[in-house]
Amino acid sequence: MLPRIPQARQLLEQRFAALYADLGQTRLDGWLAQLPQQLTRTCFDTPHGKREMWLETLLALPPLVPSKRDFSAARVMLGQAADCDDATRARLQQLLEVFIPWRKGPFELFGIHIDTEWRSDWKWARVAPHLDDLDGRLVLDVGCGSGYHLWRMLGAGAQLVLGVDPSLLFLMQFQAVKTYAPEAPTHFLPLRSEDLPDFGGTGFDTVFSMGVLYHRRSPLYHLQELHAALRQGGQLVLETLVVDGDVRTLLMPEGRYGKMRNVWFIPSVPLLLLWLRRLGFVDVRCVDVARTTVAEQRATAWMRFESLADFLDPADAGRTQEGYPAPVRALVTATRG
Ligand SMILES: C[S@@+](CC[C@H](N)C(=O)[O-])C[C@H]1O[C@@H](n2cnc3c(N)ncnc32)[C@H](O)[C@@H]1O
């Protein structure tokens, strides 16, 4: 097995080379002075027990050619059932299962439906009507998970879509899908938003941060990172947990929230909008508020651990197990002034 590892590493390096080539064609090319070192450090130099097994799995994916791709449908689709025989499909499914848990999707690959924990297409349906036209835009998705929304952004016409997320598993899931669209101008960077450069007002046209703010110990720093990544006049699309209340309302859970250990701040909508205005965003608007349901987030064959139903109080679905208000998410749009 081990002799194949340099080959597998090469595969990722090829994918990053395609990223550098795409980035080099844009006004964001100054990032190339530091990006290769950043990616080598996070991708190869940081110890991770499963990296080699995952790389080996990527390398083993069957070299199929999709007769159809659809990035605008609810299930991001690459390849139809007729593009491969049953034995190859069974092998592909076995390899894709190595990357369980699949949380963000759904995907359909050569007739295999990856039924993910989240119906991320529902989130996209809430977001899409409020976007400035993505046609020809440079787009960044901070905390992109498996990259499901990256494909939907590409389907909406973006010129180049970059996702950043520190999870190596999500990098591998993205790369597994990308095996069947290697030339697509969408790329996954295994980085944190803290690693993003300040583009000095000439950055991305649209920056998304969905489901990240409450994971940050310093939410205002996170909003500043998003501001620094945007060009002047660019659109921020922010989605995060909120609680009911006025501009003085902020929930900081004592310990876990919905069994999650890493939830720090959940503001009210008015407070969230104030944070954004204070940091220099204009035209700040809350365009949607939605309670997360057990139909949208649930355990499936592709995510076999506990899910939302297990995080809520069995006697009161309006509360988490810890007694906090059950998850409600707001969607906010704003412009870098
Ligand atoms: C709840 S998921 C949201 C995924 C996707 N954006 C969505 O809305 O479906 C949060 C993601 O943020 C990532 N994340 C956490 N801290 C981050 C950081 N500092 N920078 C970038 N991503 C981060 C996690 O790895 C995880 O994939």
Which run of H or E residues covers position 284?
A: strand 281-291
Q: Which sign does the torsion angle of CA 56, 92, 119, 154 carry?
A: positive
| Pair of tokens at residue 174 | 């993205």
If we measure between CA atoms, which residue out of 122, 149, 104 comes closest to residue 300?
104
- What is the model's pLDDT at position 4? 67
Ligand 1 neighbours, Cβ below 6 Å, are: 104, 118, 120, 123, 142-145, 164-167, 170, 192-194, 210-212, 215
Report the SS3 class of residue 166.
coil
The model scores a pTM over 0.85? yes
Mean per-residue pLDDT pooled into runs of 10, the chain (337 residues): 69 95 98 97 90 93 98 98 98 98 98 98 98 98 98 98 97 98 98 97 98 98 98 98 98 97 97 98 98 98 97 97 98 98
Residues 124 and 86 sit within 8 Å (Cβ to Cβ): no
Using the mean position of ligand 1's atoms as its centre, give its distance from the Cα of residue 113 in Å: 23
Q: What is the DSSP letter of 133?
A: P
Query: At 295, which amino acid appears?
Result: A
Greatest distance between any 2 Cα atoms in the chain: 60
* Residue to probe by mutation, ligand 1, list 118, 142, 165, 260, most atoms within 8 Å of CB: 165
Using the mean position of ligand 1's atoms as its centre, give its distance from the Cα of residue 85 in Å: 36
Residue nearest to atom 27 of ligand 1 (CA): 145
Q: DSSP string of 118-170?
A: EEHHHHHHHHGGGSPP-TT-EEEEET-TTSHHHHHHHHTT-SEEEEE---HHH
Question: Which atom, in ligand 1's list, is nearest to the CA of 193?
Answer: 20
- What is the model's pLDDT at position 46? 86
Residue nearest to atom 13 of ligand 1 (CA): 143
| Pair of tokens at residue 36 | 């290769």
CATH number for 103:
3.40.50.150
Q: Give how many domains the chain has, as a whole number.
A: 1
- What is the model's pLDDT at position 1? 45
Q: At residue 167, what are phi and psi to the nearest 5 degrees?
A: -80, 120
Residue count (the chain) = 337
Residue nearest to atom 11 of ligand 1 (CA): 143
Q: At residue 304, what are phi and psi to the nearest 5 degrees?
A: -100, 5
* Residue to probe by mutation, ligand 1, list 107, 170, 212, most atoms within 8 Å of CB: 212
Residue span of the structural domain in which 110 resides = 2-336
| Pair of tokens at residue 272 | 């969230």
